[in-house]
Structure 1
Amino acid sequence: MNHPFTVAIVEDNYWAGKLLQSYCEQCGLEVISIVSDGQAFLRQYDEFRPDILLVDIGLQGDLDGISMVHSLREAGHRLKVIMVSGTTNIDHVLTAFHDLGSLYFLSKPVLFPKFQTAIQKAISEIEMERSSIAQAPEPKQSKWITVKNQKSQLPISEDSILYAEKEEKRLTRIHLVNGDRIEASTNLTDILAQSTPYLYSPFKGFLVNMRYVASYVKESGFPTSRRFLIHLKHTSAKIPLSRNLQKEFAQLLQELHR
């Protein structure tokens, strides 16, 4: 195997540490640290930050392997831990697995096939986690629209706008998803110029946020009507849609919600 992964060994027996180092090198891993003292390893952790930690339970100094890994977990470090020990104390084994999230518990003397299996499991988990991070979508950045509210400039997140309507010549009423309303002197054209394609003008005097369109239907009750009515989420209000814009509106709605 040849993997770009790093390993730290915390082992108070010199020859056991050298054996683990040899096994790591046979697996194509880079050993970046071998120490015998738990406190010493914690002090140098930020310098090395290994992918995998091989740690004995009994160590030199005041800190044993279980306490050392507890300290790492409490500090938020999620490196893969493989416990290595000659202990026969079942409580130590159970603690290692349940409290520390250990991948494996290797009993001394450590044989290479079992060591290799433990490393392969650690590598598989690391690769899966890295793949998940790489495939995760980047956080969406909000688009901000600035309107004039009385004598001040007020930024509004586009995502928070449900729809807007022209009330009179110099007044625009902006309806927000949370039910609030904002009175602004900025006209709909200026708002539209600052927005993404999600804000759309379906009828003169109106803007709707396409994110929140639930459906649209032909206006009923007026046989001669050539309009459609847009139903939005979060409100019972119906927004008019011009018949001339119906096809364009339907195509845009489909494209934005793919």
Structure 2
Amino acid sequence: MERKIKILIVEDEMIIAANISLQLTELGYEVTGIVPRGEEALMHIKSEIPDILLLDINLKGDLDGIETALAMQKSHDIPVIYLTANSDNAHFERAKETHPYGFIAKPFKKLDLQRAIQLTITQVNSKNGRDSESRPQESNPSILNDCIFVRHLNSMVKVNIEDILYIEAERNYCRIFTRNKEYLLVITLKEMDKKLPSKHFLRIHRSYIINISQIKEIATSHIVIARKAIPIGKSLKNELLKRLQTI
């Protein structure tokens, strides 16, 4: 069993910090600490190195969040996700110098937090995978006749084929949508299309693969699945109509 991803929260509003900690725990991550000052974060990292630094930009004290990240990066390469209530250009340009993995604007939802962390993990895995013999497991989902096994957080999860609504491309990633959950995989949509059983799935757009049985509505330029309008590529519409006639 793999260890949990460790996250250090650096946030001087303790109610917000406590809420973030609770959400991270519910999502399956390990919170290594909650500290309100940049100086304390640097001390904490000396004794326990987290996998991700969740860092408020507008910290009180001698160091703000960006200065804390710059100081940390002199000795450690820890992915940084910034929390910010101030999205002006000056802060953004300063923050860019630290090459953060993400920004989360306050106030934010649990899903915003989850997506930012998942994207950070997949980016780190992808970068590490290029430098080692083993690719991240997300890039090789195990696909059987009736289900697909994907890595979610720290475990392999079984997703039934019939429960998949559609799959959307995000650059070199794929996001699988079911009715209740989303799974982000390090694999291109083209490679995913090769692996999926054609009996159930069809690529109808350069950015979408759909589960044909989940279609609720067909319009001139799009189909609807679970209230989501998904565009149909002009060259792929005839194939979709042909497949629907054979079901």
Query: TM-score, normalized by length of structure 2?
Result: 0.50
CA shift, 1:123, in A, is: 1.1
Do the aligned partners of 1:81 and 1:104 also contact (CA within 8 Å) in 2?
yes
Distance of 1:54 and 1:13 partners within structure 2: 13
Unaligned runs of 5+ in 2: 135-247
> Structure 2 counterpart of 1:99, which letter?
E
Residue 103 of structure 1 pairs with residue 101 of structure 2: yes
- Amino acid corresponding to residue 53 of structure 1 in structure 2: L
| Bigger Rg over Cα | 1
On the 8 A contact 1:9/1:53 being kept in 2, the answer is: yes
Which residue does 1:240 correspond to in 2?
none
CA distance in 2, matches of 1:130, 1:46: 23
Tell me, in whole angstroms, the C-alpha distance in 1 between the residues paired with 2:6 and 2:29. 6
**CA apart distance, 1:88:** 3.4
- Check if 1:37 corresponds to 2:37: yes
Aligned to 1:80: 79
Q: For the residues of structure 2 that align with 1:49 and 1:6, how far apart are their CA atoms?
A: 8
Q: How does 1:204-243 map to 2 (within 5 A)?
A: none
CA RMSD, aligned part only? 1.9
- Detail structure 1 runs of 4+ shifted over 3 Å in the superposition: 129-134
**Alignment partner, residue 195 of structure 2:** none
Tell me the equivalent position of 2:90: 91
Deviations 1:231-250 (A, max 9, x none): xxxxxxxxxxxxxxxxxxxx
The normalised TM-score by structure 1 is 0.48
Identity percentage of aligned residues? 29
Segments of 5+ residues of structure 1 without an aligned counterpart are 137-258
Structure 1 residues 88 and 123: alpha-carbon distance in aligned structure 2, compared to 1, 3 A threshold: closer
- Aligned residue type for 2:54: L
Q: Partner residue of 1:8?
A: 8
Decide whether the 8 Å contact of 1:3 with 1:29 is kept in 2. Answer: no
* Pair 1:18-2:18 in alignment: yes
Q: Report the 3-state secondary structure (helix = DSSP H, G, I; strand = E; otherwise coil) of the residue aligned with 1:55.
A: strand
Whether the aligned pair in 2 keeps the contact of 1:4 and 1:30 (CA below 8 Å) is yes
- State how many pairs are aligned: 133
**1:85 is matched by which residue type in structure 2?**
T
**Structure 1 counterpart of 2:11, which letter?**
E
Q: Separation in 2 of the partners of 1:109 and 1:94?
A: 21
1:1-258 matches, within 5 Å, as 4-75=4-75, 77-96=76-95, 98-135=96-133
Instruction: Output the amino acid matched with 1:78.
Output: D
